[in-house]
Structure 1
């Protein structure tokens, strides 16, 4: 019977995870245990969830303290009592007020005062729900106080903060970190008593053998406490149910807005569209998701009213209702997207709407949500102690010189075994690594609940002033709270955008059902892209590392890509499993090297651990652990901070079980190293498979609709590479890149035939207001007839107008842009702005005699470099000196192990440290045909020949081949200059002006 237990979420105080507390309680034979973290409820839901797996009675509450001085412990009798405790705690955390000495009179709660406080305050009266807590240490004082007579008010209050001496030491170090003090100066008053441990229940009972009524009181109090939540499959949707007074009122509002906006989205409405709308509205109502649509609709409506740009994504894009309301801009009917994939009778979570806003607007959007809905809070997240940071903190605690700490972290000059303090720093640094340091704010999640937020958690107030729950998204979803994602940046929705582009650019094209991925798996054209690594723009498969892996694997099918998507992760790579998997995949004879049991367990991956589930398989079949034990190990491998201790204990158990099965010690160590390297990095197979589905979808669109797909990639912020890379891909696949046009272009890029009109959003220095005015005027009153017409209709400054001219936005007039710039300056009278007030009659425009002007491709290229960051033509055409070698990427196989010279446009490069701490680089270049090749720059070369800037380089080196993958080991790297801007080098006797 322990009613005052702390987890690690007694921040910088506790040392145990909630699961470790439960395990410890079972080991000690404890039947009743209360989690009461200090001024925190982060661990409560996870504690209650995990307690169902243990044979004990869980109780929850809060240990209220001012600093470390305990005032009282409040235990929740019911869920309402837990809410009352959370509201009380939140109120004081928000206002940064100290807790009163006397507990408030909260309903459905018990208050436990430490005996020391009661004696000090000389309390004589107690409410029905108030009790006096007595520890073993203070039991000897009790007979000499008047409180021995309060036989109905005394309970056992044996605090639990750690398990043993090591935990106690860690606790003291945490207190020093919190107070920023030396260990030698840590006041005893700032740390817990060394006896704050959980004793076996028999020993605890024996200590109170002379006071059976105390034991009985404690048991009775804890038996009367029962807080219930439902998790996982038993959960129900806890999100807000309605906004306008009732569920029916919400539905009527949704229906009215939907039918009111229907003609705008579908001007040529037919029975099929109407039938789809009726079906969706009926399904949304039956599934109880009306509020989710209403809330998202209100959010985007407010954004539109304030001219805040936004983009709706997520599974909600499959809904016609969402499209009609403007939550998304994807037409599911036009694109044949199935609503049943979005909502079906088996789905219990609400629709997933990810709404992107500008980072400038996000706080305003958040404020609107808080002002509009009832029970709102930001989602929390946990910031944990990282090893290097802990080492630095502990070094300060022990008073070590900073230089010594730097050398230790750098692995220089320091042998921890010869230094007492370094040994302690290393030991406790590893122990504390992963502990929660503080609770922070999730990047984008907002919760809107039916019950008060405090029904589930206390809240705190971060600097921006929006209250935030103390738990993270994982346990939130587990209990039925599904967050709204309000993002501060554009996400990637390349696939859906591409389908939309295809629908308007190629309306008669036959587009495969994007969800019918099984057809894509059998498409050899797509598999050929995988095996050659030609996957630029593809989801999760375009990075240099992934291209290299797929080339070496010769990935050419669905299962191969599923494995590659997981094996690229650091876990398999760090354990050497990636290379071994490649060899066994390519050379079947190599599979004979696998341990027979491992090969039998993991036949699909040739005896190599690839997926997260493989941990469970190996632990059960190789090590002989039970499935329950194996699952504990698997969860420990996920890298969650609260299960770090589990991993350490399971290592010993794993090896001991292997030895009992007779496995050789070397094999045991090798397999455990593979298991351990998975920690926090390996993908579950299902996760890899879901990535692979999107990879194949993106590959399908790239292969059959490359111009549309690459345009969609650009519209969604690109991917792994810079914008220029995706522009070059469009050119490679036969597309023509055109600058924006005031009569054709939009803010995003659009495609007409094989011409890609870059959007105004791609132009540097073009203000959002300029684009909005331009597009709004064109939409309301039609296309512009020329510069004069544009000048009359759009309020714009001369600087913005000149930028539009220089990028070619008025080329439809047939007049050279330099003549247009003269005209623009003259009309604006050297930068003056025209009046905003509309005029009844237009003032006739004066025709000016403009001098003869000349331009050329080089001037265009320099303007494009200035305003877009890249030229629309190949950089090779701009070189000052003609390349001395015409070798291309496809020629490399003909020069294996030979010295070559090749020219390449720099795509990307990545630096990494060698084992001896020296810097080397891996580079990716594109040849004159925009085919990629890779380079390796070892430290001596990397130091002598540095990357200067974007552009073409002359590369000298040796071609090397490994498993069909070719790269160049670089000897020399020389940046190639381009021709100068003609406007800076005018001929002395020129009769023409070059602007």
Structure 2
């Protein structure tokens, strides 16, 4: 009887989920109802999927409105009607058009006009599929209306938006948030009526006892509606069914591509390779995944033609077919990749292919996919209300001052000290937390479907300009839609730009190597030694302090070792305590035989009986606990965080335990193994995924090993990496570069390398306007370099504020004039005449000014760089107000092993973490006076006394310790060191004196150090 039900996907309007709506209907003995969210279809598929569990027959529709103003309700007679409604809504969303007051002619959908709208529009005639909707509260008015004569056209349209008073209060708060207004100022027209609730069927019948024909009309309409989507376990994929014209053609084409790839990938083909290929092809055909592979092949083939750099990863990297089609660069035979993780007969969904492109190339690839295929959409995802955000929004709605809102967000106010309003804010924060706030775009998911996208959902049109579904990846998989992941990754941009630099500046070097020759890189001793020594700054996935630490502990010097390390570093392994156990077993091979269960060691000999990869969950569940592969995959998916049915997961967990007990394992062992399985919880990598990451790491390492300066420039030009840009500049200096501040003649927007001279880009000048930078580069490229400041000012329209930035950073140093003199010249030049932007027929006559003699100090230059670039190009140790008391560095760690050391360090990064007892501790990475990196740890007692206070230089006193050969400092105490005062705002003579005295002390200390040596 209910044709107008809302969930919280009626964004910032509805207050409960589609499952809570079904539960509400069941409690009121309702056997069928229509879900009609306002201009939204997000909940529709899951509503249909779950309805049978509540003994309810689902009907789908859309409540079409302009803002909160109702226009009409569309009810789908069938799936074709749902398609019509979605087409209509999507067109208006994409075009930004208002919904018309009169609906178009739908062939397979009913239209219900609200009673009030019919009165306003004085609509007198109704098509066969059009009706008038009357709510319970409108019955009294109907008795006195001429519309009562339209007996066959009147149906019940009782909106359902609330369950209780609390829902209504939450609704009003959501409306106030949406309108950015105080709750007390919220207009009644912006909110629903409190009586938009569900009545039990007997109660409803009593209300309409005098107008029973309305209920009969409603029943007839609902009985004529039917909607169906296949959510069964054996459902067929809804992706594009064929790549060519028929499935037979697809199968022949896939085999042909594999045969073409064999000689390149495997110059020496043996029987195991052919057997693996035959096995995969059989299953791919049987499971109906041929078109899925061919579409991925089409995407990467286009990328290869465009010379776009890419990496294929995900569980699909376990496939030899993917390797032969060049979707991935991972050889599953070399790595013995577990075939059943890639695909098995119990698996409904196809394998994951995550294809990473440079962040510059991905938009072009996305555009290609939309142009190449017909039914394409980006996959949506919902951004939900989170506690801190809700507190801020509700605080504003209730009119709280910002200070009080900040305190509530920090959670520092005790419950007993809250006033009434603050208590309400926290109460309703709990209610709104987790509700959808707005539709966003999945990180990289694209759907390519057989049926039109609108068969499943209406689409939004975000700023990216591509249609986006109104549902997420979980429900997409439930209905048989499997995404293609097209992702952007800056690591690839770094590799691609390095190659571009080499091709431009060193073409003879560029022609000497193939960046895809991974087999050669794996055997390169220079690269493997860099991995072993953790000299990986700037390299993809291996540059973080944690990874650097792990590489040294494991003494990794092979590709396979790096594959394992890439997965061991993940939280699933490290949090279970198995990362430490893996290191112990790696360093002491006898330990595995002594401690590992024989079955675990037999399953995973390569990783010493320790679960490291995602497929290890399948292996352990299948071989150790005796689950079949289907159940094992349920377990693996349940751990991934993408799985929806916790009931099904619980059944598999119970069976895991029961089977282990039947096999006679001790309870302690069962719990230990299960804890390892459970710790993976979505964090472990598939082995093929780790292998793909390791391939990219080796490509990065190759470039850093042989073309370090070009690679560092590419790193800087593509957003850096784990660290701030300043540290990649420092690394470039360590690798032999001479660093120059931006220059109007030598710099581009990004950094530029000339042999060993690295010129920082104009883009580093945070206050320089982008349009000014573009103007400078355009003029320089068109008419040559600038020969003087006057020449620059003659050729460009630029304000004194913008040219001052360039002068202060010394971007005109080619003039050999002091920057203070240049600033005088610029002011005099720009003030003497108004610039007119037109071509000049003759070079202007320059007027010469008498400028007083001025000078700059090194200290002034350093602070100017700090202000304009965010870092100075001199050593930060030169800026200290007090002279250093020692020159101790990481070079001395071995000498001080198990002894206390006094050392200064410039802070690179700090990681805050907590112990199992919830106490704070810190890991910090720093640079010593010699420019080398070292690591420190502050355990809870020390962390409670001392803390890091932002970037700068710290003095540490602590014990040098070794863990598996990795040396670091256990800090006992620390103190931040003061910089000198900025001479531009302080007493210049005092500051310069301190600076010069410090340099003198440094020189004296170096001299004494040399004598002692």
- Tell me by how many angstroms 1:635 deviates: 2.2
- Tell me by how many angstroms 1:821 deviates: 1.4
The equivalent residue for 1:590 is: 591
Contact map agreement 2:739 2:758 (CA 8 A) in 1: yes
Contact map agreement 1:81 1:106 (CA 8 A) in 2: no
Distance 1:392 1:782 in 2: 54
Deviates more, 1:973-982 or 1:733-742: 973-982
Contact map agreement 2:168 2:194 (CA 8 A) in 1: no
Contact map agreement 1:61 1:85 (CA 8 A) in 2: no
Distance 2:596 2:897 in 1: 31
Distance 1:586 1:976 in 2: 40
Q: For 1:366-765, what aligned pairs fall within 5 Å after superposition?
A: 380-384=380-384, 439-441=439-441, 454-459=454-459, 469-472=469-472, 479=481, 493-509=493-509, 511-591=512-592, 592-640=594-642, 643-644=643-644, 646-662=645-661, 663-765=665-767
The equivalent residue for 1:122 is: none
- Tell me by how many angstroms 1:793 deviates: 1.7
The equivalent residue for 2:901 is: 900
Aligned residue for 2:543, secondary structure, equals coil
Distance 1:70 1:78 in 2: 22
The equivalent residue for 1:329 is: none
The equivalent residue for 1:844 is: 845
- Tell me by how many angstroms 1:742 deviates: 2.2
- Tell me by how many angstroms 1:193 deviates: 7.4
Contact map agreement 2:59 2:225 (CA 8 A) in 1: no
Distance 1:638 1:4 in 2: 36
Q: For 1:127-206, what aligned pairs fall within 5 Å after superposition?
A: none
Q: Deviations over 1:649-697 (max 9, x none)?
A: 4234323343244233333333332222222322222322222221111
Contact map agreement 2:375 2:449 (CA 8 A) in 1: yes
- Tell me by how many angstroms 1:698 deviates: 1.1
| TM-score normalised by the chain length of structure 1 | 0.65
Contact map agreement 2:768 2:802 (CA 8 A) in 1: yes
The equivalent residue for 2:241 is: 234
- Tell me by how many angstroms 1:606 deviates: 2.4
Change in Cα spacing, 1:99 to 1:623, as seen in structure 2 (3 Å) is farther
- Tell me by how many angstroms 1:723 deviates: 1.3
The equivalent residue for 1:791 is: 793
Aligned residue for 1:841, secondary structure, equals coil
The equivalent residue for 1:244 is: none
Contact map agreement 2:983 2:992 (CA 8 A) in 1: no
- Tell me by how many angstroms 1:94 deviates: 9.8
Distance 2:449 2:393 in 1: 39
- Tell me by how many angstroms 1:322 deviates: 8.4
The equivalent residue for 2:953 is: 952
- Tell me by how many angstroms 1:626 deviates: 2.6
- Tell me by how many angstroms 1:764 deviates: 3.1
Distance 1:828 1:512 in 2: 52
Distance 1:886 1:544 in 2: 23
- Tell me by how many angstroms 1:758 deviates: 1.0
Aligned residue for 2:508, secondary structure, equals coil
The equivalent residue for 2:988 is: 985
Contact map agreement 1:175 1:191 (CA 8 A) in 2: no
Aligned residue for 1:885, secondary structure, equals coil
Distance 2:6 2:590 in 1: 55
Would you say 1:106 and 2:82 are equivalent positions?
Answer: no
Contact map agreement 1:549 1:564 (CA 8 A) in 2: yes
Change in Cα spacing, 1:922 to 1:783, as seen in structure 2 (3 Å) is same
- Tell me by how many angstroms 1:733 deviates: 0.5
| TM-score normalised by the chain length of structure 2 | 0.64
Aligned residue for 2:531, secondary structure, equals helix
Contact map agreement 1:562 1:685 (CA 8 A) in 2: yes
- Tell me by how many angstroms 1:873 deviates: 2.7
Deviates more, 1:463-472 or 1:679-688: 463-472
Contact map agreement 2:958 2:973 (CA 8 A) in 1: yes
Question: How many residues are paired up?
Answer: 826
Q: For 1:236-385, what aligned pairs fall within 5 Å after superposition?
A: 318-320=304-306, 354-355=359-360, 380-384=380-384
Change in Cα spacing, 1:851 to 1:176, as seen in structure 2 (3 Å) is closer
Contact map agreement 2:491 2:540 (CA 8 A) in 1: no
Distance 1:33 1:742 in 2: 69
The equivalent residue for 2:775 is: 773
Deviates more, 1:833-842 or 1:57-66: 57-66
- Tell me by how many angstroms 1:563 deviates: 2.3
Contact map agreement 1:711 1:749 (CA 8 A) in 2: yes
Aligned residue for 1:659, secondary structure, equals helix
Contact map agreement 1:622 1:658 (CA 8 A) in 2: no
Distance 1:823 1:98 in 2: 62
CA RMSD of aligned residues (A): 6.6
Contact map agreement 2:239 2:450 (CA 8 A) in 1: no
Segments of 5+ residues of structure 1 without an aligned counterpart are 22-29, 52-56, 115-124, 134-152, 154-158, 162-166, 197-213, 239-286, 293-313, 324-337, 395-402, 415-424, 991-995
